[in-house]
Structure 1
Amino acid sequence: MGNPDFIFRSYDRMAVDHAHELRELLGNKPLVTRICIVSVGVVLHEAQNALLKIFEDPPSNTHFFMVSETDSYLLPTLRSRFFVHRERRVDTQDGEVEKFLTLSLGEKMTKVSEIAEAGTEATRRFMDELERNFSKDIKTYQNVLSKIIEGKRFLLLPSASRKGILESIVCAL
């Protein structure tokens, strides 16, 4: 049996139901001190509102850690309740975007299908890499960058089609 004072959850896309589950788990008194670790790709807007209820009146003797590659999608009111620790990103996929950009249109579509299948976090990470690449020349790639930023917003919607978002970015290239 696991430690009742240790909660770990991992979500590709944290929905409101997940936030409600956490609130329920945190409602029980800890035996000593509770540790709650949540690893997320993105937290949907409705889930953030539900999390706010937890952090407005946090449970006593509870330490809450939210682990994510970015906090850019968080509502300012939720972000203000966290101590944000940023790690310098170590890029292990040097040249992946450059290789991607040399592919034919059909190969690009196949590749974005694979990325979308890998989940929301992989999709967001790929979009971040594309954005970093095209940000080097904002004037030339303004339309592509706009499409990437728009895609990141759509990615936060509960019914977002990762594949459709990535395909629309490919069409803007």
Structure 2
Amino acid sequence: MTKLETKKTIPIVAKSFDELHHGYIIEGERQVASEGVIDFLQNKLNFDTKGNPDFYLSNFETLSIEESRRLKELQGKRAFTGKTKVFVVMVDFITSEAQNSLLKIFEEPTEGTHFFLIIGNASRLLPTLRSRLHFIKLSSMGEDKEAKDFLCKSQASRLAYIKELTDRISDGELPKNRVIELLDSLEKIFYDKLSKGDLDSAYKIESIIKARSYAEDRSPSLKMLLENLAIDF
């Protein structure tokens, strides 16, 4: 399987928290993005992320309204060690109700609180939420290459790849969002082909969108979803 880049510089120009925006959306692979944010906080802003009660790192497959309310409650409290609190929130999907709850945080942000919302595909966010946050898109060359390699494989090789991928997810070695990232990259490839006149790509895009909607359910059969695509393509 394609080995993802493990460290990436986050393109934020700030020498202090006073110069930092109150909230960022970072579109990219969660591990790469989160490590980049932590590196930025520690090395650029001298903010200790280890054992710091004012640093919150959360990881959700689906962010619900209850979890969003909990974040709202936490960010409203005073910092323990100084004036600054930082939240790094990694998600695959956020319900509409949870997004509206988050929106209230960013409409009236608590002084000294900064959010980094990491998501694989920011187009799933409500426009009103996106408009309140500074958007950063990280390159996805590794993910795109993985999708291109997938399409170049024979049907038998695709099925073998899918088995390996879903087995690693089941074993906890990889997060479930790797399937969403693969689908996002496949969708981009076929949209590019469609823009160049390949009308067959429209059907494939429709199939990908449908598969992704099922993949975002609570208990999807990821292996079955990908196998159906492998056969269709």
TM superposition score category, shorter chain reference: 0.7 to 0.9
- Which amino acid in the other structure matches residue 94 of structure 1? K
Cα deviation, residue 75, structure 1: 0.9
Residues 146/96 of structure 1: CA separation in 2 closer, same or farther (3 Å cut): closer
How far apart are the structure 1 equivalents of 2:147 and 2:68?
Answer: 34
Name the structure 2 match of 1:124.
180
Identical aligned residues as a percent: 28
Runs of 5+ consecutive residues of structure 2 not aligned to the other structure: 1-49
When residues 164 and 90 of structure 1 are mapped into structure 2, their CA distance, relative to the original with a 3 A threshold, is same
What secondary structure is seen at the aligned counterpart in 1 of 2:128?
helix
Structure 2 distance, partners of 1:102, 1:42, is 29
The answer to whether 1:141 aligns with 2:201 is yes
TM-score (norm 2): 0.61
Q: 1:150 aligns to what SS in structure 2?
A: helix
* Residue 108 (str. 1) matches residue 161 (str. 2): no
Task: From the superposition, tell whether residues 129 and 32 of structure 1 become closer, same or farther in structure 2 (CA, over 3 Å).
Answer: same
Answering whether residue 93 of structure 2 is matched by residue 33 of structure 1, we say: no
Alpha-carbon RMSD across the aligned residues, in angstroms, is 2.8
Cα gap change, 1:82/1:142 in structure 2, threshold over 3 Å: closer, same or farther?
same
1:86 Cα deviation from its structure 2 partner = 1.9
Aligned letter for 1:13? Answer: T
Residue ranges of structure 1 left out of the alignment (5+ in a row): none
Q: 2:115 aligns with which of 56, 64, 68?
A: 64
Calculate the TM-score normalised by the size of structure 1. Answer: 0.79
User: Within the alignment, does 1:48 sit opposite 2:95 as a pair?
Assistant: no
Kindly indicate whether residue 144 of structure 2 is the aligned counterpart of residue 84 of structure 1. Answer: no
